[in-house]
Amino acid sequence: MFEVAVSDTIGIAHPGQVPRVLEAMLAKLPAHRLALHFHDTRRTALANVLASLPFGIVTFDASAGGLGGCPHAPGAAGNLATDDLICIC
């Protein structure tokens, strides 16, 4: 199965950008082949997931308690917390 994961590694994406990126991606592959990964540096990871749902995206990365970060992006916060993701899906 072919799948593409689009990652906001440093956590600067905002919900206004998500539809534009998804429209471009979905022109090339179906929603069930696309996964999204949001860091929570600016506390927008959950809002970005909500902006993704109307596009049929159902695969998101999350981590226990929002743990994580990026060794290549000092100061980037952790990932989207699994418990937050479960509450909205």
Active site residue ranges = 70
Q: In what order do the strands lie in the sheet with 59-60?
A: 4-8, 34-38, 59-60
Gyration radius of the chain over CA positions: 12
Which uninterrupted H or E stretch holds 78? none
